[in-house]
Chain A
Amino acid sequence: MELIKILPLLLESAWLLPLASFALIVFFGPRMGKGGRWAGYLATAAILASLVLSLCALGCWFVLSPPTEEAAHIGGFRIPPLNVERYCLGQFDSLRIVVGYYIDSLTIAMFCMVTLVASCIHVYSLGYMHEELEEVTDPLVRLAKGQPLRRRGRFPRFFQYLSLFCFSMLGLVIAGNVAMVFVFWELVGICSYLLIGFYFERKSASDAANKAFIVNRIGDFGMIVGLMAVWTGFGTFSFGDWQDTEGRVQPGIFRQVRPSPDAPKPIVPDGMVQMAACHEVEAIVCGAPDLATARQEIAARLPLWRSQGYGYWLLVIAGLGIFCGCVGKSAQFPLLVWLPDAMEGPTPVSALIHAATMVAAGVYLVGRFYPVFTPEVLLVIAYVGSITLFIAATIALVATDIKRVLAYSTVSQLGYMMLALGVGGWLAGMFHLFTHAFFKSLLFLCSGSVIHACGTNEMPQMGGLRKKMPWTAYTMLVGCLAISGAGVPVLGVGLSGYYSKDYIIAQALLFKSQNPTHAWMFYVAAAGAALTAFYMFRLWYLTFAGQPRDEHVAKHAHESPAVMVAPLVVLAALSVAAGWNLFAKQLGLAPLLDSARPVGPTAGASAGLWIPQVTQPPEELVHTPEVHVPAALIAFTMALVGFLLATSIYGLRKLDAADVRRQFSPIYRFLVHKWWLDELYDFAFVRPVLGISRFAAGVDRKGIDWLADNLARWVELLSRLDDWIDRTFVDALVDLTARWTYALGLRLRAIQTGNIRQYVMLIAVGTVALFVLMSLYWNYATASF
């Protein structure tokens, strides 16, 4: 069999293995060994097998499109993406709901990343969740009488959800059409909900789960609007070209909006033009003699309408709608409040779902949908990304909960990715997605290890843990260096974050040079680099450096078992090396992703229809020394500033943190309250909604209930009357009939004397009487029988 046929099969099995594991654990989980121990091994084996299959697929890809020198320079599709349709769920007119795959190097890279991180986290969870094997006492949940809650361990359930999540995430990545993306989009959402609420007895956990779910619904509402626009405009959900039942090749979304690979401007699809020009279409149809000529007429007019800008707003709506879903899932600016609260879930979940994979799915979808976005949408994406990046980074400066610092850091890094995508740096955004997945899951797992050892999330109670848990401390240091973008700018060598963050800042600089009015985004990105370095090293110093601040915690602390340390080492190695290109810069993550780059939108300067003054610079320009060198220097300098500041405050204690806090007390308060975002939303949305619902409840109780009660009372009264009539008249009539019958019976009873001779006499007399009567009155002549 050819490799190109094997490739989908490999990815398909990698995708379905976690589902099989999920199904087995659902049915047999609690019976798998003591406390469901084998469920963990099963899920881990499944994801490890998926990892192996994904790596095989990666090997296949390299064989199919070898990383040669000229290939690296051509860019764009070296082999066209595979669009495989496996099963048609249903066809409603021209709406086809299909299970299909869209496979390019991005898909394969995502598969490898997701399965790799998930494998590490599965192994780690085997150690981290071991308490769930036995009966658990949860001191955070107090029962009515004040004693802590005791409950059965949920070890199998945890791995069951993890397996379901892996299946959903891989499905989201492999999906070949937007409908399938949406299904798996919601599936990862529900997994996130279930896992945030894993300790659902805790009020905070169940609240956080609800918050995450509801905030995501807001984003998904926009996404549905986007889907509708896509459906009406393109007439298909499929990304790539597909074959209809007669074997004709139909263009998918991407080819409709970018018919030629080097067109910088998106083409508004026919459907959207017709939708927008509905009045003109109506006039033509009414005026034409028959439908065929009307169709020809409309087809002839389409280019004119398109050049007049008809339907462009629909394309913008489609892009904004899809992006809206990504805003919810990736916790971008207006909807970023759920992700920090989601840290109520177990730490491996935070690492897998709320750092490395699911929240990156929003970025992934923006990257996947990149050809559809118009410059206006891209500008919105860039704005949202920069705002998010700044807000989240500033909040992370003052958070004291170790996981919350990381959560805000995640939001901030996702903002970086969105910013990169928005300013035209497709490769930069996607590259950062991958490197971030590695170092952020590493950081989360390290924090999990710390929490496991200390039994608290609060950094002020930690300190000096470096000696107690050296593996955790130094792997986390690697993570901090990676996320801060540590490297040697002169040699161009660094940890993975160095490459991706430099790339993003270079893209922002390039955008600034072309559009000076939007320069602030570059400044925010540069400042973000300093903030990132500051809060990461603040976290590290507070946790691992200095003297222990809490005797009890320090005495209790210990290095985690090998099963938890091993994934840390693997992820640390990846955080260091993920950005490196081997073999003369042809074999590496960036060239691999580059071959999936949608060429159209990143090819050349393109301006939006509505905002002609904003131009998207071509992505290649970022490699010119005028952009690359200053960007690298700025990024490095900013990170160094952040690092030195953190070191002087928390490492060397030259500056007193409390003093600084006093000095900037209004800002500090503003940041500690998370920009008052939660309060703002509470005031702007939650309270009005509660007010409306209270009002509705009042109307229900006072109005509708009153009506219903009165109606019931009237009905009761009526039935009482009816009952009285029934008893008095109808029943009496029946009783009377019965009494008469009874009396008659009593009378007639006397006839039966029991005297046999009397009976015989009566029979004889009766017979004679009958004969006499017959002879008198029966006329034989006219009688008829």
Chain B
Amino acid sequence: MNLLTQPVGVSHYLVVGAILFVCGVVCMATKRNALGVLMGIELVLNGANLNFVAFGSPYLQPDGRAALGLDGQLLAIFVIVLAAAEAAVALAIVLCYYNNHATVDVDRADQLKG
């Protein structure tokens, strides 16, 4: 099955979501800047969100019936809210960390290591 020859369906969205997710994970794993890590988290969340929306959309299904229906969209909105809240808390932590250490390098935040 060649995706490029198919009409746009759920699978395409899933591919885009997976790419976004992997980009996010790589970003989280490689960035030393705390802000960069946060951005990676946003990518991961949005990659997952894309899956929810894709499964919840009736237009992408051959029989016009969505797998999740409105539930998918609700969950997507929920994740967005969660991301906003998380960003607020995380940015506050980062700001606090900067105040104390004059840097946002996550590698240097290892005071709680075992």
Contacts and interface: CB of A to CB of B under 8 A. Distances in A.
Interface of A: 748-757, 760-761, 764
B107 A757 contact: yes
Contact of B29 (A751, A753, A757): A757
A761 B114 CA distance: 18
Contacts of B112: 752, 754
A645 B107 CA distance: 133
A759 to B, nearest CB: 9
Contacts of A756: 37, 106-107, 109
A752 B106 contact: no
A754 B29 CA distance: 13
B31 A749 contact: no
B32 A754 contact: no
A760 B114 contact: no
A760 B111 contact: no
Interface of B: 25, 28-32, 37, 106-107, 109-114
A757 B109 CA distance: 11
Contacts of B30: 757
Contact of B28 (A750, A752, A753, A757): A757
B28 A760 contact: yes
* Cβ-closest 6 pairs across A and B: A754-B110, A754-B113, A752-B114, A749-B114, A760-B29, A760-B28
A567 to B, nearest CB: 101
Contacts of B25: 760, 764
A553 B72 CA distance: 123
A749 B113 CA distance: 8
Contacts of B107: 755-757
A750 B110 contact: no
A751 B109 contact: no
Contacts of B28: 757, 760
Contacts of A750: 114
A761 B107 CA distance: 14
A339 B81 CA distance: 106
23 contacts: A748-B114, A749-B114, A752-B112, A752-B113, A753-B113, A753-B114, A754-B112, A754-B113, A754-B114, A755-B106, A755-B107, A755-B113, A756-B37, A756-B109, A757-B29, A757-B30, A757-B31, A757-B32, A757-B107, A760-B28, A761-B29, A764-B25, A764-B29
A751 B31 contact: no
Contacts of B109: 754, 756
A353 B109 CA distance: 101
A780 B110 CA distance: 42
A297 B31 CA distance: 120
Contacts of A760: 25, 28-29
A756 B94 CA distance: 14
Name the residue among A749, A755, A757, A764 with the largest chain B CB count within 10 angstroms: A757
Contacts of A752: 112-114
A68 to B, nearest CB: 119
A760 to B, nearest CB: 4
Nearest to B110: A754
B35 to A, nearest CB: 13
A755 B34 CA distance: 12
Contacts of A753: 110, 113-114
B51 to A, nearest CB: 16
B106 to A, nearest CB: 5
Contacts of A748: 114
A764 B22 CA distance: 9
A193 B30 CA distance: 104
A298 B59 CA distance: 115
Contacts of B114: 748-754
B47 to A, nearest CB: 13
A751 B37 CA distance: 21
A761 B29 CA distance: 6
B81 to A, nearest CB: 24
Contacts of A764: 25, 29
A438 B14 CA distance: 127
A547 B113 CA distance: 117
B106 A757 contact: yes
A760 B43 CA distance: 14
Given A755-B113, A757-B107, 16 more contacts: A750-B114, A752-B112, A752-B113, A753-B110, A753-B113, A754-B109, A754-B111, A755-B106, A755-B107, A755-B110, A756-B107, A757-B28, A757-B106, A760-B25, A760-B29, A764-B25
A749 B109 CA distance: 17
A751 B113 CA distance: 9
A757 B30 CA distance: 6
A756 B38 CA distance: 12
A749 B114 CA distance: 5
B43 to A, nearest CB: 12
A227 B111 CA distance: 95
B83 to A, nearest CB: 17
B111 to A, nearest CB: 7
A486 B25 CA distance: 136
B92 to A, nearest CB: 17
Nearest to A762: B29
Name the residue among B29, B30, B106, B113 with the largest chain A CB count within 10 angstroms: B29
Nearest to B107: A755
Contacts of B113: 752-755
B107 to A, nearest CB: 6
Contacts of A755: 106-107, 110, 113
A340 B29 CA distance: 113
Nearest to A746: B114
Nearest to A753: B113
Nearest to A763: B25
A765 to B, nearest CB: 9
Name the residue among A751, A752, A760, A764 with the largest chain B CB count within 10 angstroms: A760
A752 B114 CA distance: 5
Contacts of A754: 109-114
A16 B40 CA distance: 101
Contacts of B31: 757
